Each structure stands twice: as structure tokens, then as C-alpha cells.
Amino acid sequence: MKNEEKNIDEIISFAKEKGFVFQSSEIYGGLAGVYDFGPLGVELLNNIKKDWWKANVQKKMNYFGLDSAMFKDPRVWDASGHTSGFSDPMAECKDCNSRIRVDKELENIGIDADEKMSEKEINELFFANIGKIKCKKCGGSNFSEAKNFNLLVKSNLGDFTSKGDKPVYLPGEACQGIYLNYKNVVDSMHPKIPFGIAQIGKAFRNEISPRNFLFRTREFEQADTQFFVRPEENKEPYEKIKKERWQWYLDLGLSVKNLLWSQHKNLVFYASDAWDIEYNFPTYGFDEMEGIHDRTDYDLSQHSKFSGVDLSFNDNGEKFIPWVLETSMGMGRVFLAVLSEAYDKEKIDDEERRVLRLLSKLAPVKVAILPLVKKDGLKEEAYKIYEELSEKYNCVFSDTATVGKRYRKQDEIGTPFCVTYDYESKEDNSVTVRERDSMKQERVKIGNLGDYLNKLI
């Protein structure tokens, strides 16, 4: 199935039905813009993270991993510009009090709202087009003026951590932890420039209208890399990073026709270039999954200024503030892209087969072990295979319902291989291995099963 033929609501209910994603606090009516990953969801999520970590840390000589704390000195968010400038223009419907994000509404009708625009400029655009923007709840166009609404989420960690009257914030973006530890990484790992730091971390934003399932949430995870280069030696590595990030999505199984590049037309004042990789989400259409930004020396200079600590790099006596090339990806959006791409339905003998065509490396369950029947010692023998294989892979053991029904159940959750132990297995010491997509079955000696699966997974 093409993404254009898929329906996102169907995928959302599938995600709940099969234990991938649940609404947070559902028994209390649900908390808007917050989601939990269920038993299969957490496996898929972890597999995506592992793949990202492998590509961005383990397979790269000059990248270092990091896991920084979420709470930070409140001054970090002053230096980064989040306390003053991290806001979205919000307006309220005067008839039903629901809120809209004005820049996104303008975007939806083809008007580009610049990030640097003042409230006054945004309002001029907004009121010039007000008739074209409708309230999602009541359908009217009777809106208040747009006011900037800060997205940082406040916390009360305790007065002793606050400087002055500033609250402690939850991170508005994960990457600040990288800048804060840049000097520690330099002093402990002694990297040669250029080098990178990578981390996966949580971010929290008071999104005005969380929407589109995992696409715009109030709590989410970001996977970031910051590549530190000599000033103005940015162009070549930037192009290389762009190529690598594009390839990573192809290696996740996303098809090239569902991906596109989009360059920022309106750059923030310090940036030198910025591109997004967009994905063609079912129903929602193309939208951002990852941003790749050439940020000059802005971040380290700001933190140097605000902390009073010299963050220049000393390259054999030559000192300079490195420039930063950033990649920032939303884990929830990539999860949704992977799930959407893999979701498929096909007709087989007048019956519909629902199948999740995930790459083996991403599948939550790699192998299902199925005794043909529970009796005559088949279950016990099959269980021995389960015990052995589950040392290596996430496996399931299932002995209820007919084998055909069990195959279908595994197809739906993306399990690439089913191993069936039948009556003949006792005699020929072999099992049937069925592959999910082709549904082809092959007889494999139990003694060779580990090697056989190893090659395929």
C-alpha cells in the first residue's frame, strides 16, 4: 500500500490495539499531547534508538556519546534564548475559547510566517487573512490578537537550585546538554577537531495545540548530534552530514518517495544554513522529521558569555570557538514514520492480511516459536527452542489457536520469522521456518537454526 492510501486514524487505533502506543493517563480521560509506549512500542522505539546510536556513535571514530541530566541551571535557558524567544504566537477563538497557533495556521493557507517576526508583524498578517482561518472547534473566525506564548515547561525543583527568582525548567530541547558538556568532553577525551557529540534526550514544550498523534506532543525525545568544526570550515562536513542522515532513513526502511528535503527560507539570525528532512505521513502529508542546522559559533559563544567560562578550543596553541553543525531528530516522529511505512494490508484468498513490514533489525519480536499442537510432547520440545533462541533475540512462544491464526497474529506485529515444531520434527530433527513477507516456508535442521536465523536477522 502507498502512504497516500493509508489512513492515520486506522494506524493510531492499530497502535493501541497491538500495544504500541497508549494515550497517557487514559483511565483519567487522557492527558493531551502526551503518549506512552506499550510493550511492543518500547521494543520498536529501542530498536530505532539502537540503530541511531550505532550509526552516530559506535560506527564513528570522532563522535562521543552523552547522557546529560534534564535539570539544568536556569541561566542555561537565558543563554540559549529560550526564556526570551522560545515562543509561538497564540490566539484565542472569542466564541468558544479554543486556542490556535497562528504561524502554523498561516502556513496551512500558504503564508510563510517568519520566526523573527514581532507580535505586531504576525498580527498584521493574521488579520489580513483572518477570514481564511477557521476555528477547528466552532468553525468561526472571531479570534483575539496573537500573543507570544512561551513554550518552556516550569518545574519547582527547590529554591536552592534556582538563581534569583528563576524557576528550573524542563529542557525545551535536548541539545543544550551537549553544549554544557562540550568542555568536559574536550578535557576528558582530548578529541581532535572536527569531532561530534551525540545524545538522545527528552524535551518538553508547552505546545499550544498538540495534535497529530506522536507528531506534535508536549513531551518527546530528540536524538541530536553536534559536530564541532573550525570556524568557516563548515560547508563540506555539512554536506556530508546531510547525505549520511538521508541514508539513515533509507536504511530504516523508509522509501525515497516518502522523503524530501526542505530548506528554511527564513533563517534565525545566527544560522548559516538549515534544512529539514520531511516524511510523507499518511493523512497529514509531508512534514518535518529532522532539522540539520549550520549554527555558526552562536551556542558556544552564548554559553561562554553567560557562564564566564572560556569555551574556545585550543588547537596546538591556536584558540577559537568552534562552529556547530547540528542534527536534531524527533524520535516520536520517526517512530510514527516507521510504523506508517510498515503498515500494510493485502488480500489473500478473499481474506485480508494485515502485515507490518518492518525490517528485521527494527521488529519488536524477531522470532515466534509455535508448537503445532500443545499435546504429545510438541509443546515441551518447542519450548526448548524458545529458550535457546531467546538468549539472543526477543522471541515469543505461542501455543493457542491454529497455526494459521498464530501466523497472522505475528504478521500483524511485524515478526519476521515463525518457527513451527510439528510431529515430523521429532523424527527429522527439523522445524518449519516461515518468512513474514513472502510467507515462504522452509525446513531447517534444529541444529542449524541459530545460524540460519542469524544470517537473516
Q: Give least dist CB 153 to ligand ATP, A.
A: 11
Nearer to ligand ATP, 102 or 289 (CB): 289
Q: What is the DSSP code string of 202-269?
A: EEE---SS-BTTTTB-SEEEEEEEEEEE-TT--HHHHHHHHHHHHHHHHHTT--GGGEEEEE-SS--T
Nearer to ligand ATP, 108 or 314 (CB): 108
Q: Give least dist CB 249 to ligand ATP, A.
A: 12
Distance CA 175, CA 326 (A): 9
Nearer to ligand ATP, 153 or 359 (CB): 153
Q: Grid coordinates standing for 453?
A: 536465523
Distance CA 226, CA 199 (A): 9
Number of C-beta neighbours around residue 130 at 10 A = 15
Cis peptide before 194 (omega within 30 of 0): yes
Residue whose C-alpha cell is 489580513: 128
Q: Give least dist CB 131 to ligand ATP, A.
A: 25
Contact 179, 305 (CB under 8 A): no
Q: Give least dist CB 220 to ligand ATP, A.
A: 4
In degrees and rounded to multiples of 5, residue 167 shows phi and psi of: -75, 165
Nearer to ligand ATP, 248 or 386 (CB): 248
Q: Give least dist CB 290 to ligand ATP, A.
A: 5
| 191 alpha-carbon distance from chain centroid | 28
Nearer to ligand ATP, 95 or 288 (CB): 288
Nearer to ligand ATP, 220 or 417 (CB): 220
Number of C-beta neighbours around residue 382 at 10 A = 24
Distance CA 185, CA 173 (A): 20
Nearer to ligand ATP, 82 or 436 (CB): 82
User: How buried is residue 6: exposed, middle or buried, by Cβ count under 10 Å (0-12/13-18/19+)?
Assistant: middle
Helix-helix angle 449-456:378-389, to 10 degrees? 50
Report the residue number whose CB is nearest to ligand ATP: 330
Contact 421, 399 (CB under 8 A): no
Helix-helix angle 331-342:8-17, to 10 degrees? 100
Distance CA 100, CA 122 (A): 13
Nearer to ligand ATP, 284 or 383 (CB): 284
Distance CA 203, CA 172 (A): 5
Nearer to ligand ATP, 217 or 415 (CB): 217
Per-residue CA distances from 26 to 34, 37, 166 (Å): 10, 13, 33
Q: Give least dist CB 272 to ligand ATP, A.
A: 16
Q: Give least dist CB 448 to ligand ATP, A.
A: 43
Q: Give least dist CB 24 to ligand ATP, A.
A: 13
Q: Give least dist CB 56 to ligand ATP, A.
A: 15
Residue whose C-alpha cell is 562536513: 237
Contacting residues toward ligand ATP, per CB under 6 A: 173, 205, 207, 216-217, 220, 222, 288-291, 328-330, 332-333
